[in-house]
Structure 1
């Protein structure tokens, strides 16, 4: 489905605007498709270096801590110094982390590198999201572009698992991490070429994270994101632990990710057209879409927790797809309609950090797997999905209250209060 990208300003040539957004989306897809450092961190620690499943869970949890810290910094850096500076600096640091991972084998060093990898691996998201909001003016156009950003991430992650599983078997994990670092450096070059220098508006007020968190709707959106994405990220964090417990090789994980990739490619354009449409206004409120997405994600990952065969894991990977798309559309709608000028980086960082928190449970899942087996893991994941669904109700109330009692510029006015 072709992207429709109306311009924020008539002074910006249509071809230039479309090419900038398309290039950034393509680069985001490629950097996620080459994101072997995260996708295979668990396998590398558990089997590649022989430290075992519990150590792998600890490394993935450490990665998640770094992810949260890094996104907060990336959001502030984007809003203060601009998208180009943020992308260049953070992609270079990400490359350094990938190269360090390729040279590391001891557990203490692996935990330290996992932290650095987490700090930088997803740090491009706030800058790309800010570029989208700065270029497009219609809510539906922004939502489509933000949705395609999530789509690129999902497809990239799926490709990474599919390709990486076979490549790791034949060439080893270290080669994958080196490729990951090279692609990060390439993204830095792309950012320097396609993005202009930062030119802050003269009247722009600096927005702090304290002011951002004064938005009640954002707080509830973050809660929904955390528990929904525990289920979604389970595809690349929990599922490898489960498949490793079943003594299935990395190639089997690659097959499951191929199934997810096919599902994402086939369903995303259809579901996005159904939920957003081609006009300038969004077709459905974001809260019902979030509820649907969280429910589907919960079903998919719970099914995965109870599987022991490759066919079962492939089925779970397919079930998760519609939930991923629904969450992506709803999150994109929130970012495109509720962010004040000059704060997109921080808003996107908060939402992305919420999803990063969802990467913390692997250690707990590994311990639950040892303590109570698959049924306990399934119950934990199902409760996460139910929590996300329940949090949608106060989110809806907060959004309705803002629309009922505020002017169209309410969020911006709120953030500019002392």
Structure 2
């Protein structure tokens, strides 16, 4: 496995400044996910707010996923070519514009088009923030902890978004949510412009293309695991709304389930991070077993959710998902912190985030499965996805051993 190579000493800011920038970006990432109402309530808005129904909501979420796939590739390339500051500022401004467009769209074709645009930009900050982490922090465990906290910020932000958004949607309507989302994105753009230095002329990396990055077998296998695991994880914000809508539960009920998830995320993430990563300079456990464990827990949690019909049942399922989310976050953070060569972190993160985007495509299929075979079919499909993720961890571990043996000078 290729090891992370730090940037030249002249390009790295002093330790205190670098760590401060990393934490500012992680907190900003949490804020942009907590205010990410455009995606979190897209399904409810299409199905309930505009009256197009559950199947149309599944189509809109699938359109969002298509845009997400396209956007991650662009975000990774922009980050590695033009620098983190340029990528973050440009993509967050585009995200704000997409949110404002969603606030005025009502017809199904317009909603599908806006959903694609929203997907292109909504998660586009992740490659740039990951690249900033890998440049700023020298130790493997330190990078892993920071990458883990970045994933925590996403999980906590999404959960907060559901709780706050459910209340606002019920009392003020969906369009207010999307305007707030636009304001948060613009604020992140301003923060990025303030705290990140522009890339010096001539320092853009052309060392690795996407074709070269994807030649890494470890990246290919962890992508398979990521797709299958995140189908289960993102069920929290894609499958749950479909199931709860079929039970005629309001958006506020979904918000309560997300509040339960938020409390569990806040309570369980710090101790699990300490357990899995430790406080030293090296990671305590190999990340592949952690990844397999997380995938299994995610499968159990979302399968439980498929058979629920009450707010309490959905809230319990949302809590069960949390340890799986943490294990997955730590494992993927460990991989990014050690596998991505200097100048290619954006592309490595973009590929894995793109896998997450692929995992957001099934809502239309889940909606059709719900109509065709009911909840047992939905549960079976989700459980099979988790089982495939666990199975794919074996060839991932084997490819890691083979790659390390073939390149002993790059051992992490």
TM over 0.5: yes
CA contact (8 A) 1:7 1:14 kept: no
CA contact (8 A) 1:42 1:57 kept: yes
The equivalent of 2:41 in structure 1 is 40
The equivalent of 1:119 in structure 2 is 120
- For 2:71 and 2:14, the matched residues in 1 are separated by 34
- For 2:8 and 2:347, the matched residues in 1 are separated by 20
- For 1:163 and 1:15, the matched residues in 2 are separated by 34
Q: Secondary structure at the match of 2:85?
A: helix
Residues 223 and 269 of structure 1: CA distance in aligned 2, closer, same or farther (over 3 Å): same
- After TM superposition, the structure 1 = structure 2 runs for residues 244-263 of structure 1, keeping only pairs within 5 Å, are 244-263=245-264
Q: Secondary structure at the match of 1:186?
A: helix
The equivalent of 1:317 in structure 2 is 318
CA contact (8 A) 1:8 1:134 kept: no
- After TM superposition, the structure 1 = structure 2 runs for residues 17-416 of structure 1, keeping only pairs within 5 Å, are 17-199=18-200, 205-409=206-410
CA contact (8 A) 1:230 1:358 kept: yes
- For 2:204 and 2:229, the matched residues in 1 are separated by 37
Write the deviation string for residues 176-212 of structure 1: whole angstroms up to 9, x where unpaired: 0000001101100000000001137769543100000
CA contact (8 A) 2:127 2:345 kept: yes
With a CA cutoff of 8 Å and minimum separation of 6, indicate the structure with the bigger relative contact order.
2
**Structure 1 position 9, deviation (Å):** 4.9
Q: Secondary structure at the match of 1:91?
A: helix
Q: Secondary structure at the match of 2:369?
A: helix
Q: Secondary structure at the match of 1:408?
A: helix
What 5-or-longer segments of structure 2 have no aligned partner? 1-5
CA contact (8 A) 2:80 2:204 kept: no
- For 2:384 and 2:44, the matched residues in 1 are separated by 26
- For 1:326 and 1:265, the matched residues in 2 are separated by 14
TM-score of the pair, normalised by structure 2: 0.96
Q: Secondary structure at the match of 2:408?
A: coil
The equivalent of 2:3 in structure 1 is none
**Structure 1 position 403, deviation (Å):** 1.4
Which has the larger displacement, 199-208 or 18-27?
199-208
Write the deviation string for residues 356-378 of structure 1: whole angstroms up to 9, x where unpaired: 10000000000000000000000
CA contact (8 A) 1:7 1:136 kept: no
CA contact (8 A) 2:80 2:205 kept: no
Q: Secondary structure at the match of 2:409?
A: coil
- After TM superposition, the structure 1 = structure 2 runs for residues 9-24 of structure 1, keeping only pairs within 5 Å, are 9=9, 12-24=13-25
Corresponding pairs, count: 406
What 5-or-longer segments of structure 1 have no aligned partner? 1-5, 412-418
Point out 4+ residue stretches in structure 1 off by more than 4 angstroms: 6-11, 200-205
**Structure 1 position 19, deviation (Å):** 1.4
